[in-house]
Every structure is written in C-alpha cells, then in structure tokens.
C-alpha cells in the first residue's frame, strides 16, 4: 500500500505529559490536592528533547506534533518568560535541524494557575488571555512553523473537566461545560485569524491552522431505528459540531483528527438523556481492547474519514495510538489503522499525515504513568529510552511510504 509522496509521518507528544516540572500549571496543583499520581519529572523531555528527536529522526519520522506549555510561557498573568519562549524556539529548531516538520499545539489541556484561579475557561477573559499568549508564541515561532493546532480536543477537555468532574476543576455542571465550549470555540476562531494576520504581516508562506478534534466511531449496536438515530445524532454533536461552526467562520485550513476507539450505541429507551448517554453493555460484538479497556476498531477510522470527505479539507491524523503492555499488539494496531487510512485515500479522502500517539510513554492525565502508549519505552527511574519493536516496524513505513499488507 503506497501512501502519497509528501505524506507526514511521525508521532505526537504534549508538553505536560512529557516535559516534567510544570509546576505553574493547574494540573500540577490538582494532582497534589486530589491525591493523584504526580507527573513529577515525567520523561524529562524538557531537558532531553534533543535525544528524543534524534530517536525520532532515526525512526524515519518527518513530522512531530508537540505542545508549548502556557504556564511556562506566562507563569504570571501578563508576565511572559523569554527564557521559556527561547526554549521552545530551540525545540523547534532542533526538529528543523533533523528535517522534522513541527506541528505545534498551543493548548493541550493545561492552564496557568493564575487563569484557573480566575475561573479558567469559564471566565470570558480566557479568550483574550489565550489570544495574548498565542500572539506572543506565534510571533516568535512563525518563521519556523507551518502547522498550528490551537486547541487540543476541546470536547474532551470541557466534558472531563466540567461535566464528568474527573479533571480539574472537577465540575459536574452541564451549563458550565457549555460555557467552556463557547469560549474555546471563540478562542479558536480568533486565534485562527490572528495567526493568519501575523503570517501576512511577516510576509511568510500561508500557515495551516486547525484544532485536534477527538472523534469516536459511533456505531449503532444493531439496525433498530433508535440506535441508528442516536449514533447519527452523537456523531453530529460530538464529532462534527465544532468543524461545522469553524467552517461557517472560515476558520479551518485542515482537519486535525484524533482517533482511538468506537462507542457502541444502544438506547435502553427513547429519552433525552438516553439519546446522549446509553451504550451497549452486552459483549455481542467483541473486539480486542487496549489496556484502558477501550475497544480497538480500525474500521471506524475508515468510516469517519469517509464522513469527513464532505468538508473538502486536508485531514491530518494528529493522534492515533494504543496503550498496551504487549508491543506486538501496538504494531497490529498501527498497521490496521494505516490500512484503513489507505482505503480512505483510495476513496479520494485527502489524508496528509499520520502522527502516532505517542513518541514516548508518558503521563496519561488522571490515569498516571500506568498506560504505555509510546513507540519508545521510558524507564521512569533511570530515564532510559528503549525503542520498541513496533517503532522499528513503523519506521519502515515512514521511510518507504509503503505498508506491506
Ligand atoms: O494522552 C491523551 C492525549 O493527551 C490527548 N488525546 C488522547 C491521549 C490518550 O488518552
């Protein structure tokens, strides 16, 4: 299976999950307050990024997605750190020196403590604050960066932090989650315009700006009308709603897609809550699972890609990956998802890149360091990196652009 010549191949990380020592962030404080596993030194990627990028280069990666940490760059409201900014310039240059295309995320779940203390994304002020921070970062990195992700998985952030109450600030209020969503939508649209404006002002090539949208394949568990209807509705609301809004505002240059799993939809009865919440609990469509119990469903990626074709935008897979203690399962996961991407490309879906989640084992938020998503194993005691067999197999695809079936 041959992939397009200029396809982006690589992996993704996020600052808080790998850097270590992000002690100005709301997550850092919450881990301690909530008695959760601490992110601590994480992978010490803040110091060891060159080593990690050297491994990525050796693995044939020509792209890498990373995030910059707002709480390092603006540790106090309105006070920007030139040291932190210089660090990220060096990080980007380290990628460029290895011919690795950076894909830079501005917000990946964490906030500076000062923002959290004044209401975080619930406060309307968050939009202006995000823009001010984005402007500072984008002006410094514009020369070296083409691809920007403004916000990672806004739906996941709003629901986990404000509806399910499992992430800081642990709210369980629908209207609050909605408010956060509204502010994130506005922040993306404004940041999109701002980034384009800066590139124009600097007479640079056009940037490509998007969000990373988390999507699940929403699969009706049988052909009953109620299940098909609920799956359709959830797909519209959870997967496509943001894209539709951004399309209306002409604020998307490509679609950043994070795909991991499916949800089997089965309504217990017709009802408002049931429409959004009920899932099938019977094991009548068994599939393999990752170590967090998520269904492995590569076919779902194909189905989603076909649905996204209507947007007529390039699609970059900005995350796709598995946590597992069996590395052979990781390669199966990658290969089966790549096969489905290839099928979609053959159907005319313009997929332009695949970034595996994640380059390194890392800190999986409220789940701590247990889940192992990495192409590269991290020994958290010694910080020793060990390239996994799956990474070597994936590297052959990255280097040749061909997946043997
Ligand atoms: O680790 C996360 C990442 O931060 C966002 N997308 C999903 C990954 C796996 O849960």
361 within ligand 1 shell (Cβ under 6 A): no
Q: From atom 9 of ligand 1, which residue's Cα is the shortest distance away?
A: 364
For residues 169-181, average pLDDT: 97
Geometric angle at alpha carbon 257, from 254 and 262, rounded to 5°: 150
212 within ligand 1 shell (Cβ under 6 A): no
CA 270 to ligand 1 centroid distance, Å: 32
Report pLDDT digits (tens) over 236-252: 999 999 999 999 999 99
167 within ligand 1 shell (Cβ under 6 A): no
CB-CB neighbours of 299 under 10 Å: 16
CA 109 to ligand 1 centroid distance, Å: 10
Please report the atom of ligand 1 found closest to the CA of residue 357.
8
Instruction: Give me the chain's average pLDDT, please.
Output: 97
d(CA 334, CA 328): 10
For the four alpha carbons of 6, 7, 10 and 11, in that order, the dihedral sign comes to positive
- At residue 353, does pLDDT exceed 90? yes
Percent of the chain with pLDDT over 70: 100
Confidence of residue 285 (pLDDT cuts 50, 70, 90): confident
d(CA 2, CA 299): 19
Report pLDDT digits (tens) over 183-194: 999 999 999 999
Q: From atom 4 of ligand 1, which residue's Cα is the shortest distance away?
A: 14
Tokens 């506005």 sit at which residue? 186
Supply the pLDDT for residue 242: 98
CA 260 to ligand 1 centroid distance, Å: 9
Mutate to test the pocket of ligand 1, among 110, 212, 319, 372 (most ligand atoms within 8 A of CB): 319
Chain centroid to CA 9? 15
CB-CB neighbours of 176 under 10 Å: 19
Percent of the chain with pLDDT over 90: 98
CA 12 to ligand 1 centroid distance, Å: 10
For residues 19-31, average pLDDT: 98
Report pLDDT digits (tens) over 210-237: 999 999 999 999 999 999 999 999 999 9
CA 274 to ligand 1 centroid distance, Å: 26
Domains of the chain: 8-213+314-399 (3.20.20.80)
d(CA 108, CA 105): 7
CA 11 to ligand 1 centroid distance, Å: 12
User: How far, in Å, are 146, 268, 341, 346, 366 from residue 319 at the CA level?
Assistant: 18, 32, 13, 21, 19
CA 157 to ligand 1 centroid distance, Å: 11
Report pLDDT digits (tens) over 121-153: 999 999 999 999 999 999 999 999 999 999 999
- At residue 26, does pLDDT exceed 80? yes
Mutate to test the pocket of ligand 1, among 11, 12, 14, 161 (most ligand atoms within 8 A of CB): 14
- At residue 405, does pLDDT exceed 80? no
Helices (H) and strands (E) in the chain, counts: 15, 10
């Amino acid at each position: 299976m041959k992939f397009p010549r200029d396809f982006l191949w690589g992996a993704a990380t996020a600052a808080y999950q790998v850097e270590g020592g992000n002690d100005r962030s709301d997550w850092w404080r919450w881990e301690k307050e909530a008695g959760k596993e601490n992110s601590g030194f994480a992978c010490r990627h803040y110091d060891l990024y060159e080593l990690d990028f050297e491994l990525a280069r050796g693995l044939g990666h020509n792209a890498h997605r990373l995030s910059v940490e707002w709480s390092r760059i603006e540790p106090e409201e309105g006070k920007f750190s030139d040291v932190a900014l210089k660090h990220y310039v060096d990080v980007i240059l380290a990628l460029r020196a290895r011919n690795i295309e950076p894909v830079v995320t501005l917000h990946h779940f964490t906030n500076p403590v000062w923002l959290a203390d004044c209401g975080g994304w619930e406060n309307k002020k968050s939009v202006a604050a995000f823009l001010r921070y984005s402007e500072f970062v984008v002006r410094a990195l514009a020369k070296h960066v083409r691809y920007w992700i403004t916000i990672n998985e806004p739906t996941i952030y709003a629901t986990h932090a404000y509806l399910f109450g499992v992430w800081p600030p642990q709210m369980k209020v629908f209207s609050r989650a909605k408010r956060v969503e509204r502010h994130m939508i506005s922040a993306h649209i404004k940041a999109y315009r701002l980034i384009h404006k800066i590139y124009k002002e600097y007479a640079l090539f056009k940037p490509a700006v998007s969000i990373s949208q988390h999507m699940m394949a929403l699969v009706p568990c049988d052909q009953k009308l109620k299940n098909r209807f609920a799956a359709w509705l959830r797909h519209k609301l959870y997967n496509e709603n943001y894209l539709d809004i951004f399309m209306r505002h002409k604020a998307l240059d490509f679609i950043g897609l994070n795909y991991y799993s499916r949800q089997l939809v089965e309504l217990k009865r017709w009802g408002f809550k049931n429409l959004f919440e009920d899932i099938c609990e019977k094991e009548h469509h068994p599939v393999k699972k990752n170590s967090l119990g998520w269904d492995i469903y590569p076919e779902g990626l194909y189905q989603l890609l076909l649905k996204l074709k209507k947007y007529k935008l390039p699609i970059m897979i900005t995350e796709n990956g598995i946590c597992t203690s069996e590395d052979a399962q990781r390669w199966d996961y990658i290969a089966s998802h790549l096969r489905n991407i290839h099928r979609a490309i053959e159907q005319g879906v313009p997929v332009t890149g695949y970034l595996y989640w994640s380059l390194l084992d890392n800190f999986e938020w409220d789940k701590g360091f247990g889940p192992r998503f990495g192409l590269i194993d991290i020994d958290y005691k010694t910080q020793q990196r060990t390239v996994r067999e799956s990474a070597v197999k994936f590297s052959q695809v990255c280097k040749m652009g061909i997946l043997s079936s």
